Amino acid sequence: MPRAIVLINTDVGMEEEVAKALMQIPEVKEVHVVYGIYDVVVVVEAETFDALRSAVITKVRKFPHIKSTTTLIVVEH
């Protein structure tokens, strides 16, 4: 099953709100608020690569208070 790790930068102080909202997306399997360069790390999983792409682009990246994302496609797990 295709999987991606999405590294997210949020607006200042919005990490928890973004994390809680992202947990409502069915393709999102894990959400972690972290310290460092990124604010939130999300694991997204879907049935196909097209569905994975769609979930990342239309559901995760378009969320309010997300400033930027870096998506890592998992090739082996």
**pLDDT digits 0-9 by tens, 23-73:** 999 999 999 999 999 999 999 999 999 999 999 999 999 889 999 999 999
Domain count, the chain: 1
Distances (CA, A) of 39 to 3, 26, 49: 20, 21, 25
Structural domain boundaries enclosing 58: 1-11+26-32+41-77
pLDDT average, residue stretch 11-30? 96
Q: Which residues, at least 6 apart from 46, have a Cβ–Cβ distance to it below 8 Å?
A: 1, 2, 27, 52, 54, 55
19 within some domain: no
61 within some domain: yes
Separation between Cα atoms, residue 27 and residue 58, nearest integer Å: 12
The pLDDT, as a whole number, for residue 68 is 96
The pLDDT, as a whole number, for residue 76 is 81
20 within some domain: no
6 within some domain: yes
Residue 4 reports pLDDT greater than 80: yes
Separation between Cα atoms, residue 51 and residue 48, nearest integer Å: 5
Domain with 46 in it: what CATH number? 3.30.70.920
17 within some domain: no
Q: For the full predicted model, state whether its pTM sits above 0.85.
A: yes
The pLDDT, as a whole number, for residue 42 is 98
The pLDDT, as a whole number, for residue 62 is 87
Give phi and psi for 20, each to the nearest 5. Answer: -65, -40
